[in-house]
């Protein structure tokens, strides 16, 4: 986040940024020496963008870790499981058919319904392959569902061509929504992350298998249902304000596991922090590499995530899971 605040197309003094931030603290009075234009850029553009990127990245990463725990599948991811596509379709339908203030008001609810529906549809399709489908079955089902939902979304976009540019900009990822979207996403961040963090120990128990978990007094179905809803809420909130940003939910949890172990009591909180850091850095690259033009943040995460996903898939197949 410090890098995100210090680096940008506009050259602002690091000392001035530090003093300006400290000056906003209670009982602290410092002269930052920044011009009004630079202060406006820092507090109205760069700071809310960094915070929004951190929250969206954290939500996507902790949701990915939650999905992986629920399905006991290291390849589970909000994007690959159809959650992001379902949320994206719902938001697109709201923009196309409602729009205006009424549409904006129900975007989070629509995104949540779409995210849950996408995951449940992918899970149902994956189950039709039976138990012999292997680890990749759920992911393949998610890819199929994602393609189907994306096709419907593309059709819906053509019904209102005047909104096409806005929708495509959102699809490619954008965390420049400002303070309004930071405050809008905040309640969903609190609810979803608290629920997921409280279920870290239960996901550890669930990882040993349903029969063993039942023997320990755990109601596996209830745990899966609650974690699924919380992860879908996190995905929906991230998609509603940030668009369809892929691969965060699979890259970050895998890196965390290699560095900190497999316990979900550790993986969940560190994934949230790591996801926030990853997306802030990705956004910093996106807005500076072609400055003054901006690269969509989804392009940056895809450059990192696509090769990483191939590597994870090869490792998963090698160990025969």
Look at residue 57 in the predicted model and tell me its pLDDT: 96
For the chain, the domain total comes to: 1
The owner of tokens 């949890």 is: 253
**How many CB atoms sit inside 10 A of residue 155's CB?**
10
Look at residue 130 in the predicted model and tell me its pLDDT: 57
> How many residues make up the chain in this entry?
321
Look at residue 103 in the predicted model and tell me its pLDDT: 57
Determine if residue 33 is left, alpha or beta; phi over 0 gives left, psi from -120 to 50 gives alpha, anything else beta.
left
Question: Nearest-5° angle of CA 50, CA 52, CA 58?
Answer: 100
User: Which structural domain range is residue 84 located in?
Assistant: 2-318
**How many CB atoms sit inside 10 A of residue 215's CB?**
10
Look at residue 113 in the predicted model and tell me its pLDDT: 87
The residue among 307, 188, 194 whose CA lies nearest residue 246 is 307
Look at residue 84 in the predicted model and tell me its pLDDT: 87
Question: Nearest-5° angle of CA 116, CA 122, CA 128?
Answer: 135
Look at residue 38 in the predicted model and tell me its pLDDT: 92
Rounded to two decimals, what is the model's pTM?
0.88
**How many CB atoms sit inside 10 A of residue 2's CB?**
11
The residue among 180, 178, 172, 165 whose CA lies nearest residue 286 is 172
What is the DSSP-derived secondary structure letter of residue 25? S
Look at residue 60 in the predicted model and tell me its pLDDT: 95
Measured over the CA atoms of residue 238, residue 226, residue 308 and residue 58, the dihedral's sign is positive
Question: In the numeric block, which tokens belong to residue 23?
Answer: 């000056």
Look at residue 294 in the predicted model and tell me its pLDDT: 86
**How many CB atoms sit inside 10 A of residue 147's CB?**
11
Look at residue 198 in the predicted model and tell me its pLDDT: 96
For residue 244, the domain's CATH number is 1.10.3470.10
Look at residue 318 in the predicted model and tell me its pLDDT: 58
What is the DSSP-derived secondary structure letter of residue 162? G
Per-residue pLDDT of the chain (321 residues; tens, 9 = 90+): 999 999 988 889 999 999 999 999 988 888 888 999 999 999 999 999 999 999 999 999 999 999 999 888 877 888 878 888 898 898 888 878 876 555 566 877 888 888 889 988 988 888 776 554 555 677 788 889 999 998 998 888 887 776 677 777 777 788 888 898 999 899 999 999 999 999 999 999 988 877 788 887 888 888 988 998 999 999 989 988 888 898 899 999 999 999 999 999 999 999 999 999 999 999 999 999 887 888 889 889 989 888 887 877 777 655 554
The residue among 105, 126, 77 whose CA lies nearest residue 244 is 77
φ/ψ (deg, to 5) at 135: -60, -40
CA 128/CA 124 separation, integer angstroms: 7
């Amino acid at each position: 986040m410090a890098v995100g605040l210090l680096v940008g197309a506009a050259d602002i003094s690091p000392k001035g940024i530090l003093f300006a931030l400290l000056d906003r603290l209670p009982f602290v009075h410092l002269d930052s020496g920044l011009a009004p234009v630079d202060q406006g850029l820092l507090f109205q553009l760069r700071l809310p963008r960094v915070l929004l990127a951190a929250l969206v990245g954290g939500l996507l990463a902790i949701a990915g870790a939650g999905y992986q725990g629920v399905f006991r599948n290291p390849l589970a991811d909000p994007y690959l499981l159809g959650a992001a596509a379902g949320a994206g379709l719902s938001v697109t339908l709201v923009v196309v058919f409602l729009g205006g203030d009424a549409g904006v008001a129900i975007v989070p609810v629509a995104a949540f319904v779409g995210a849950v529906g996408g995951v449940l549809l992918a899970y149902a399709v994956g189950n039709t392959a039976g138990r012999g489908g292997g680890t990749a079955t759920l992911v393949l089902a998610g890819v199929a569902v994602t393609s189907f939902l994306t096709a419907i979304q593309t059709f819906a976009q053509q019904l209102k061509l005047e909104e096409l540019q806005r929708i495509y900009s959102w699809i490619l990822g954008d965390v420049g929504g400002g303070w309004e979207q930071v405050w809008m996403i905040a309640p969903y961040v609190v609810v979803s992350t608290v629920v997921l963090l409280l279920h870290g120990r239960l996901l550890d128990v669930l990882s040993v298998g349903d029969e063993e978990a039942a023997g320990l007094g755990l109601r596996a179905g209830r745990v899966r249902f609650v974690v699924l809803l919380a992860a879908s809420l996190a995905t929906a909130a991230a998609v509603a304000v940030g668009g369809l940003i892929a691969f965060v939910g699979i890259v970050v949890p895998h890196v965390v596991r290699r560095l900190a172990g497999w316990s979900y009591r550790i993986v969940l909180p560190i994934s949230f922090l790591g996801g926030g850091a990853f997306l802030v850095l990705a956004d910093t690259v996106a807005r500076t590499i072609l400055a003054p033009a901006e690269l969509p943040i989804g392009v940056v995460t895809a450059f990192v995530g696509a090769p990483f996903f191939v590597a994870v898939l090869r490792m998963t197949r090698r160990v025969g899971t």
